[in-house]
């Protein structure tokens, strides 16, 4: 059963902190809808910016795993990182 995603805005960091869902073992909020399952910050990113390219992940600039403020989310390309490391 899908529960509506609700959040509180932290006045200092401007983080949108999810309060309707508990984080899982990784510290991230996992959303389990009938037609779509993903982490909350990834769902928000996809809703606003479109699909996440393959071999990429969404990271938090603010470091708060429960934050879903789109302005705090950044697309991280895993291939670029591999390239830099080689």
The burial class, CB within 10 Å (0-12 / 13-18 / 19+), for 50 is exposed
Taking CB under 5 A as the binding criterion, the range among 13-21, 23-31, 33-41, 44-52 that sits at the site for Zn ion is 13-21
Helix or strand holding residue 85 (H, E): helix 78-85
If one asks whether residue 64 binds Zn ion (CB under 5 A), the answer comes out as: yes
User: Which of 5/62 has CB closer to Zn ion?
Assistant: 62
Six-digit token string for 78:
């895993």
If one asks whether residue 62 binds Zn ion (CB under 5 A), the answer comes out as: yes
Helix or strand holding residue 59 (H, E): strand 56-60
Closest CB 1 distance from Zn ion, rounded Å = 27
If one asks whether residue 15 binds Zn ion (CB under 5 A), the answer comes out as: yes
């Amino acid at each position: 059963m899908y529960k509506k995603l609700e959040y509180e805005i932290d006045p200092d960091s401007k983080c949108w902190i999810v309060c309707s869902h508990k984080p899982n073992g990784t510290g991230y909020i996992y959303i389990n809808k009938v037609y779509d399952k993903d982490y909350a910050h990834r769902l928000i990113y996809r809703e606003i910016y479109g699909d996440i390219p393959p071999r990429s992940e969404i990271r938090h600039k603010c470091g708060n795993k429960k934050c879903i403020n789109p302005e705090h989310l950044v697309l991280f390309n895993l291939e670029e990182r591999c390239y830099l490391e080689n």
